[in-house]
Chains A and B, each alone.
Chain A
Amino acid sequence: MRLEPLPSASPWRVLGVTLLALGLAFILVGTVFWVYGQNPLEVYRAMFAGTLLEAKGWQEIFRRSIPLLLIGVGLTLAFRTQFYNIGAEGQVLLGAVLAAGVALFLPLPPPLSLPVMVLAGALGGALWCGLAAWLRLRFSVNEILSTLMLNYVAQHLVIFLINGPWRGKDVRGYIYSDRFAEYQQLPVWPGSSVHWPTLLLGVLLALLLQFLLFRTTLGFRLRIVGENPGAARYLGLAQGRLLLLLALITGGLAGLAGVGEIAGIHHRLIEPSQLSSGYGFTAIIVAWLARGQPALVLLTAPLMGLVLAGGDLLKVSFNMPFRIVDVFSGIILFCLIGSELFLRYRLRR
């Protein structure tokens, strides 16, 4: 048996290989369940029944998909341009911080408050990611390490704020800020916590960025910079400026996800671990699964939303730590990148 190069993989081959990789991932995660001492079939049955067969489950999937959609769309763009932003988690937090700052301390006429919160949130995420891009351009600091370190800094910043100066007046023992006013909250689908304006925004941005990437000059430039830096230099493209712009977009989208979480669900600034339970990392898989196509995130975000909602369920029904989601994410990612070889080559006897 040997590997024979393929000129290009057909969409069917991509779909087939991806589905096989996902199947393998579910088998491997099942093995972890088994080592943990649970019957994998029973765990999966409970997980899918509780999410896909119940209206409440679908609402949970949608709620979880909103941040994944926003962050994932930005990350497809970033990965395409070879900017490995893995600090979305911190950018979500910074978005939440700035939005909460506006909500709590900026006296604005009520109809203006929510829009300004959204803008401030996007700005917060954009700046946090832009900082990493600037460090890479100016000091050649690896963005994987800088964005990750900035995650930790963001966590400590949020804890400092809700434990100190922004600590709510009405709280005892817990640490979180005061509650936002009614007009500072995002409307939700009746009877659920699906904040639909953010969902709509995510869908629109996925389509918009798909258009930008494949139908505009800017998108063409971004793709060149990522796929062939040598050619980009030859064409005289301002790679630094493009990278910075890209980082601001990616980070800004993560910041929006942060606004969605606090203005749509929690209605106050809360502890980092509850505010973004790993969205930044799960979105990496959302983006990788979409293979650089922002519009495909519309499919891959709900898929990982299902995993997150399922993780919640396992926490309650099987008394498992939420960490199980990391196992899912990591193994899915392994299987995806490992399977890519079979898109470039085929096995021949």
Chain B
Amino acid sequence: MEEIVNALARALSFGTPLLIACLGAILNERAGVVNLGVEGMMALGALAGFAVAFGGGVGDGNLWLAVLAAMLAGGVAALLHGFVTITLQANQFVSGLALTMVGLGTAGLLGKRFEGQPLFNQPPEWPFTLGAVGLAVLLTFVFYATRLGLSLRSVGENPAAADLLGLNVSVVRYAAVVAGGALAGLAGAYLSLVYRPSWTDGMTAGLGWIAVALVIFVGWSPLRAVFGAIFFGLLYYLQFRLQGQAAIPSEVFASLPYLLVILVLALSGLRGQQGNAPEALGKPYRRGER
């Protein structure tokens, strides 16, 4: 019993950044914009959060400010993606890749001075976990029970119709993209402040990409994302738990999450999950063009 409770606690702890980043990605994809830059935005958020919390080097930084800085970093990075894809109508997939490169690169470069430094003040974990689950509920409510959610979804499903009804497609998309980026930044801050209170280059280790894949797996549903994140969190827990116990080399366990993402995507494909994708996902909107 204790073992199970412990496993679930660890699963939730590891699933939290996945959930936060995944909810952000769902938000912007519902508005029709794919942002593959989650990994880069997480890295920037992790660095910004750590840098502010680190303060003068004795860990005297304000933690609220640190979290805010992380969200700001993610949001600004997402704004860049928004400008390139919404205003300049560039390919969303390639822009997301570029954002990943810039994010990982800039965070690695500017974070060099923080490498190996310990963090003395550490925020508690539960507000993040509870907040993430609460956000999933809130997003579900917003999507399906408010006017705002209707606008958001219509922009992702049929931007031409939304435009006709007087909605400003660009503004709605910009807002969704920036909010999604802020959440990715927050997910990064969780890593550098709570999960492993330190900064190392490459500490996101593909989590951002797993979050992007999770969006497809959970069929763009915030509520199902909670269970998806716990599922992946449990896998990470098992990976650590079984490591060294079995005769299986640790590299096998280390590559398990990535293999599982592929498996999970294949399963989603078999179930026809991709049919749930917003109709206009990945397509730039040009007024008067079909």
Tell whether A337 is near chain B: CB-to-CB under 8 Å: yes
Per-residue 0/1 for A328-344: is the Cβ within 8 Å of any B Cβ (1 yes, 0 no)? 11110110011111000
A140 within 8 A of B: yes
* B105 interface neighbour in A141, A157, A288, A327, Cβ under 8 Å: A327
Does B189 count as interface, using CB distance less than 8 angstroms? no
Task: Report Cα–Cα, A144/B84, bound state, in Å.
Answer: 20
Q: Tell me whether A156 is interfacial, beta carbon within 8 Å.
A: yes
User: Is B131 part of the binding interface, using a Cβ–Cβ cutoff of 8 Å?
Assistant: no
Residue in B97, B98, B201, B254 whose beta carbon sits within 8 Å of that of A321 in the complex = B201
Asked if A135 is at the interface of the complex by the 8 Å CB criterion, the answer is yes
Contact residues in A for B269 (Cβ distance below 8 Å): 139-141
Chain B's nearest CB lies how many Å from the CB of A231? 17
Asked whether A6 is an interface residue with its Cβ less than 8 Å from the other chain, the reply is: no
Does A122 belong to the interface (CB within 8 Å)?
no
**B249 and A330 contact, CB distance less than 8 A:** no
Q: Is A228 an interface residue (CB 8 A)?
A: no
- Bound together, the chains give a CA A156 to CA B88 distance in angstroms of 38
Which of B22-30, B48-56, B143-151, B257-265 sits within the interface?
B257-265
**Residue in A156, A157, A341 whose Cβ sees the most chain B Cβ within 10 Å:** A156
Bound: A257/B127 CA distance, A: 48
Most A CB contacts (10 A, CB to CB) among B90, B91, B99, B259 go to B90
Q: B106 on the interface (CB 8 Å rule)?
A: yes
Q: Is the CB of A284 within 8 A of B97?
A: yes
Q: Is the interface of B mostly helix, strand, loop or mixed?
A: helix
Which stretch, B165-173, B205-213, B222-230, touches the partner chain A? B205-213
Question: In whole angstroms, what is the CA distance A135 to B216 when docked?
Answer: 15
- Do residues A337 and B84 form an inter-chain contact, with CB atoms below 8 A? yes
A104 at interface by CB-CB < 8 Å: no
Give the nearest-CB partner of B275 in chain A. A140
Q: Which B20-71 residues have a C-beta within 8 angstroms of A?
A: 36, 40
Residues of B with C-beta under 8 A to A281:
97, 101
A-side interface mostly: helix
B262 touches A338 (CB 8 A): no
* Interface positions of A (Cβ within 8 A of B): 32, 35-36, 84, 86, 135, 138-142, 144-146, 148-150, 152-153, 156-157, 159-160, 163-164, 281, 284, 288, 320-321, 323-331, 333-334, 337-341
The interface of chain B, by Cβ under 8 A from chain A, is 36, 40, 80, 83-84, 88-91, 93-95, 97-106, 108-110, 112, 201, 206, 209, 212-213, 216, 249, 251-252, 254-255, 258-259, 261-262, 265-267, 269-270, 274
**Interface pairs A-B: 7 shortest CB-CB:** A326-B105, A330-B101, A330-B102, A323-B108, A327-B105, A139-B269, A160-B251
A-B contact pairs, 22 of them (CB 8 A): A35-B110, A139-B267, A145-B209, A146-B262, A152-B255, A159-B251, A284-B94, A288-B94, A320-B109, A324-B105, A324-B109, A326-B101, A326-B104, A326-B108, A329-B105, A330-B40, A330-B98, A330-B100, A330-B103, A337-B91, A338-B84, A338-B90
- Additional pairs, 13, CB under 8 Å, beyond known A148-B209, A326-B102: A145-B216, A149-B213, A149-B261, A152-B206, A153-B258, A321-B109, A321-B201, A325-B105, A328-B105, A330-B40, A330-B100, A334-B102, A339-B88
